[in-house]
Chain A
Amino acid sequence: MKKFDLELTVGIFMILGIVCLGYLSIKLGRMEIFTPEGYEVQAVFSNGGGIKSGSSVVIAGVQVGRVKAVTLDDYQARVIMQLPSNLKIQEDAIASIKTKGLIGEKYVEITPGGTEEVISPGGKIRDTQPAVDLEGLMSSYVFGKL
């Protein structure tokens, strides 16, 4: 009887450990097993600048969602974002790809618009601003000076 209890306790601890590990890897890997709450919005950028799924979506410096997927569409970057359902994005909002600091990671910033029309789930932010290509800017400055 006593031996059985010991084995049971060890077993429970093992299962607990595995569950914790699983939870941790899902959290750290930013994976989603359950469909997350909210809705999706797309935006097409001429230059994604290395944005990837899991990157933050920010309004006024506050993280409101995450990038769910990035795909290539007609040689442009199509970014699918997951936003909470209580957050309304106006039809004339502008999405831009920004860099944290000078060489930090990329994130999507949404500047809210002013119309009454709201983007429906699965809709598209029409006005976008691609990632600023520092190198390109520098080279055009340098070669423009010649």
Chain B
Amino acid sequence: MVKGVVTFTCLIVVLMGSTALAGAPTDAIKETTDKIIHIVTDPGLKGAEKSEKKARMIREAVDERFDWVEMTRRALARHWKDRTDEEKKTIIKLFSDLLEQTYLEKVEGYSGEKVLYEGEQVDGKYGVVSVKIVTRKDTEIPVKYRVKNEGDGWRVYDISITGVSLINNYRKQFNSIITRSSYEELVEKLKAKVGSR
């Protein structure tokens, strides 16, 4: 019986291809991804003069899905609780700007890559959504969205691309900058990076 159900589910996954499996975390990711793809492929938003509007729309779509507070908290890790509320506010803004700037360029270069939803795992208020991005050259890039639901829907707190975690990457860099020099130095570095683009 169980085997039958598993086979059936597998069949459905194979048959439906890119269609999402029924499940809240995947639906949430799919909704945002579709929204962004729609924005970047919209012919009405082509051209240099529209790029600012396009960037703003992408930012709005990303903002409602990404939990910047949680991401910054996780990236700062044990240095988070030493910060004042004011400092927290500043670094959340800087960190989200940095991530958006870094990834906006990549999203704007979208050229018909396919996004396949490969399933999800839910464990209480945590979930993982596995996605495969297939480029036009048929290279497959596995992406994992780690999501958390605090009652206001599934929101992303970490992304792993080919197994490398974004938060782990920044956590190590932040930690090394703070322990080597100071928290102020980290803020300066982030400001310089965000401002330089």
Q: How far is the CA of A132 from the CA of B123 in the complex (A)?
A: 25
Contact with A along B160-174 (1 / 0, CB 8 A): 101111011001100
Q: What residue in chain A is nearest B73 (Cβ atoms)? A: A114
Q: How far is the CA of A133 from the CA of B164 in the complex (A)?
A: 11
Pairwise interchain contact B163-A112, C-beta atoms closer than 8 A: no
Interface contacts beyond A129-B165, A143-B137: sample of 20 additional A-B pairs, CB < 8 Å, sorted by A = A46-B163, A92-B74, A94-B168, A96-B165, A96-B168, A111-B171, A111-B175, A113-B74, A114-B73, A114-B74, A114-B79, A114-B81, A127-B167, A127-B168, A129-B160, A129-B164, A140-B139, A140-B162, A144-B137, A144-B139
Count of interface residues, chain B, beta-carbon cutoff 8 Å:
25
Q: How far is the CA of A133 from the CA of B137 in the complex (A)?
A: 21
Residues of A within 8 A of B77 (CB): 90, 92, 111-114
Choose among A90, A115, A127, A137 the residue with the greatest number of B CB atoms under 10 Å from its CB: A127
Contact with A along B170-186 (1 / 0, CB 8 A): 01100100000000000
User: From DSSP, what is the main secondary structure of chain A's interface residues?
Assistant: loop
Pairwise interchain contact A111-B78, C-beta atoms closer than 8 A: no
Q: A94-B171, A144-B137 are in contact. Are A132 and B74 (CB under 8 A)?
A: no
Pairwise interchain contact A114-B78, C-beta atoms closer than 8 A: yes
Which 3 residue pairs of A and B lie closest in terms of their CB atoms, listed nearest first? A114-B77, A114-B80, A130-B163
Q: A96-B168, A111-B168 are in contact. Are A129 and B163 (CB under 8 A)?
A: yes
- Residues of B near any A CB (own CB < 8 A): 73-74, 76-81, 123, 126, 135, 137, 139, 146, 158, 160, 162-165, 167-168, 171-172, 175
